[in-house]
Structure 1
């Protein structure tokens, strides 16, 4: 991963990062018997390693899908702009061909439709990736299945006992960190859910552009479901408002989300479209330097290389 310039400096971390016991959202259970701990610890270590390895793999999948989506978006924009400026193009000797401009626009429109479908497919993949990230970040804890006294102890990522918090009383899993400290994964996931939210807005704008000479305008609104099951996925990512029956609208941290001032423009000019493409590439919500730092310190604690 190539580091990018960070908007803020991350402090050097020598202990479990950004975590104090008071920050744990799930209270620790009473310390388990030593026999249960001996069984729990290797299971917890395997689970934590697996979940963080999944997060790293999903980050790489995100990079691939985001790059493909931007490539399709560029092609979509180029097809649209070629249609828009067709009348002003100098076609040279081709100008004498009957209906050449109309035929060219029809061909470009079909290309635009193709790239629109490809962009939407990539967006769907990105939603699925973030959904899996969320599930992994919520699966760090290791719960005992059955009785603690059973010689054939089994463990699960889901709790079957209200008295089991999945952290063996807050003991270190490897060297220093308890399970709660490994839930630093939520910071990673928050970056990607925020970026996914912004990319949904860009997808809406890019899917909505159409030439004024084409009668089949794409009427797509923020409250529309872009594909079947999208709202269920967004709910998993906490990006869907059940009361309003629409996805959370992206906003600055200092302002409230609102869709009242947002209206998709079918006739966006080239400068605006360039801003959309640049914003897609920038991924302003993802701090690559902080991601590198998190994966490095987590990998060091687990004695694995997360890079």
Structure 2
């Protein structure tokens, strides 16, 4: 009983802290304006934090090593963009393909969810043969999937659906910070609830010792598939948010380097740490988008440019 009360108290304190943080961020947005670099950094932090936590769910809490994050994000991004382009603009954007196959438009929330669901379905197709194997076959299969998918999207054979090598634009975007905070916050909260549930405890048992977990009656394949599918679902939503942030979608952006960046964030924040992933995301995004721009100003540091730091 005492342990339950302590846990409940910690949850209340955490919730209050999160609400205060959101209030401070929204206040900062009203002060500095939506187009400022600070708001841009915070928006991108929300997107990459969701992607990092989704990878950590699989790599950190279940012990499965996947390198397909960019592929699942590409699925979410393209689904979101294609489903939210206004019908009267489709002939202009997909002019080479008669306006494309999709002839309707839907609100951004269902489009995000559909992007996540489609990514999860692809994860199931990959996981069915691969997750029954030992070692790091999942990493090989998921990385290969991401690269193959990127080439398929750019192929002229599916150009009527994806616009081929040409980027997508003019879909639903939002410049405010609140929408990014709310969507990424809800998704991360759902993953935290999953991690703290009986399924999450099974994930950790599999991570620590598969043989012992199986001896305790845990279905290894079922729980691995669940973790991989949920991780891919939220990666798809993160891809939709990234499309919303960038205002254009191009398959070339969703390459293996993006996966390695997210993996770097997870490692810096700590394997198996949700809060660490969020904080590491802010440091990573701020360093790349903010501080390096500051250091690139030769009036402040003569003779030192961003290129100098890239060579270190």
Structure-1-length-normalised TM-score: 0.28
Bigger relative contact order, structure 1 or 2 (CA pairs below 8 A, ≥6 apart): 2
Structure-2-length-normalised TM-score: 0.28
Q: Which has the larger radius of gyration?
A: 1
